[in-house]
C-alpha cells in the first residue's frame, strides 16, 4: 500500500489558448509538509483546484486516497472533500459571520453534532491558533494575521487528512508570518495530516517544509528537500531561491524590437 495520500500522475491541464501543465508528476506522503513553488502564473493554485475537484485535467489524473478525483460523482467528490481543509488566499472569511460562526461553518455543514459539542470543538480550534478570546469578533475587526489564523482554525475544524494552503504568507508582517509558519508545522504534526502549500515565499517555506516542488513552464523544473534546492546549481532554481533579476525567467514579457516599435509608431 502506498504511503502517498495524494498522487498527481502525468497531469496536463490548460485553457483554449494556453497549456498550464504538461505532464506533471507529484506525490504527497502522509504526515509530510510539501510545498509547490514557482513564479506568478505558473499554475500553482490551479493544482490545488485539480486536487479538490474544482477542475478536470486535460490528461492524466489526480488520486486522493487512491481514488481518481475527476471520476467521482457528486457524492464521491463530497466525501473526498470531507477529508480536505483549505486555507484560501487572504483567509476568505465570511464577512457577515463572527469568528465563532466562521469556524463552526464546516462542522455544521458536514456533521450532525449537537450544539454543545460544536461549541467545544470551535473553542478548541480557536485555542490552538491563539484566538479563543476573539470568538465574538467580526472579520472586519481582525488584523490580517488574526484573520489568517481564524481561517486556519476553520481549515482544520474537521481534523482533515489533507490541509491545502494557498499563499498563506501573502501580506503578513514578519511576526504574523512566523506565527503562521509555526502553526502550519505544529497542526500538521499534531493532526498527522498532509499539508500542501502553494507559495513563492522561499525562506519561510524552507524553514519548515519536508519537500519542495518547483514548477516552471508547465513542468516540475526541480524537486527535493529545502537543503537540496538551496544548494542547487540549476539556473532557474538558483534565480528563484536567491531572488535574482537576471536568469532563465526574463524581466521583459516577449515583445517586438523596442527601437523598431518606437520608430514605426504612427499617430
Averaged pLDDT score across all residues of the chain: 85
Q: Which of 142, 137, 100, 138 is nearest to 122 (CA)?
A: 100
How high is the pLDDT of residue 252?
60
How high is the pLDDT of residue 109?
84
Is residue 136 within 8 A of residue 98, CB to CB? The reply is yes
The single residue listed with the C-alpha cell 493544482 is 47
> Given pLDDT bands bounded at 50, 70 and 90, which one contains residue 170?
confident
How high is the pLDDT of residue 245?
60
- CATH superfamily for domain 4-226: P-loop containing nucleotide triphosphate hydrolases (3.40.50.300)
Is residue 178 within 8 A of residue 57, CB to CB? The reply is no
pLDDT digits (tens, 9 = 90+) for 205-218: 888 899 999 888 88
In this structure, the number of other CB atoms found within 10 A of the CB of residue 218 comes to 18
How high is the pLDDT of residue 1?
46
Look at residue 39 and tell me whether its pLDDT is greater than 80.
Answer: no
Q: Which long-range contacts (CB under 8 A, 24 or more apart) does 233-242 make?
A: 240/37, 240/38, 240/39, 240/202, 240/214, 241/202
Sheet of 18-29, strand order: 18-29, 4-15, 59-64, 67-68
pLDDT digits (tens, 9 = 90+) for 221-267: 888 998 888 887 776 676 666 666 655 555 566 678 777 777 776 65
pLDDT digits (tens, 9 = 90+) for 55-102: 899 999 999 988 999 988 988 888 888 888 888 877 788 889 999 999
Q: Left, alpha or beta for 151 (phi > 0: left; psi -120 to 50: alpha)?
A: alpha
Of the chain, the percentage scoring pLDDT greater than 70 comes to 91
Q: What is the mean pLDDT of residues 12-30?
A: 87
- Alpha-carbon distances, residue 239 vs 154, 208, 249 (angstroms): 36, 21, 8
pLDDT digits (tens, 9 = 90+) for 176-200: 888 888 888 988 888 889 999 998 8
How high is the pLDDT of residue 40?
76
Q: What is the mean pLDDT of residues 12-33?
A: 88
pLDDT digits (tens, 9 = 90+) for 138-160: 999 998 888 888 998 998 888 88
Ordered by start, the domain boundaries in the chain are 4-226
- Alpha-carbon distances, residue 210 vs 50, 188, 197, 216, 224 (angstroms): 22, 12, 11, 20, 9
Amino acid at each position: 500500500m502506498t504511503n502517498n495520500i495524494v498522487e498527481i500522475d502525468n497531469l496536463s491541464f490548460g485553457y483554449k489558448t494556453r497549456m498550464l501543465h504538461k505532464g506533471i508528476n507529484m506525490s504527497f506522503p502522509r504526515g509530510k509538509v510539501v510545498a509547490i513553488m514557482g513564479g506568478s502564473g505558473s499554475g500553482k493554485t490551479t493544482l490545488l483546484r485539480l486536487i479538490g475537484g474544482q477542475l478536470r485535467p486535460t490528461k492524466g489524473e489526480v488520486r486522493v486516497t487512491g481514488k481518481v478525483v475527476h471520476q467521482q460523482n457528486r457524492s464521491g467528490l463530497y466525501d473526498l472533500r470531507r477529508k480536505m481543509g483549505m486555507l484560501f488566499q487572504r483567509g476568505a472569511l465570511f464577512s457577515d459571520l463572527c469568528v465563532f460562526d466562521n469556524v463552526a461553518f464546516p462542522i455544521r455543514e458536514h456533521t450532525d453534532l449537537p450544539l454543545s459539542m460544536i461549541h467545544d470543538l470551535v473553542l478548541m480550534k480557536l485555542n490552538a491558533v491563539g484566538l479563543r478570546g476573539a470568538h465574538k469578533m467580526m472579520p472586519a475587526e481582525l488584523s490580517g494575521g488574526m484573520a489568517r489564523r481564524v481561517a486556519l482554525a476553520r481549515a482544520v475544524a474537521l481534523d482533515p487528512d489533507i490541509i491545502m494552503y494557498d499563499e498563506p504568507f501573502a501580506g503578513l508582517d514578519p511576526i504574523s508570518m512566523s506565527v503562521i509558519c509555526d502553526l502550519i508545522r505544529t497542526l500538521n504534526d499534531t493532526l498527522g495530516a498532509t499539508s500542501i502549500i502553494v507559495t513563492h515565499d522561499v525562506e519561510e517555506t524552507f524553514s519548515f517544509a519536508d519537500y519542495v516542488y518547483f514548477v516552471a513552464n508547465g513542468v516540475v523544473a526541480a524537486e527535493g528537500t529545502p537543503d537540496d534546492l538551496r544548494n542547487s546549481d540549476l539556473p532557474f532554481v538558483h534565480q528563484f531561491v536567491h531572488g535574482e533579476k537576471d536568469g532563465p525567467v526574463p524581466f521583459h514579457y516577449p515583445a517586438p524590437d523596442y527601437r523598431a516599435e518606437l520608430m514605426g509608431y504612427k499617430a
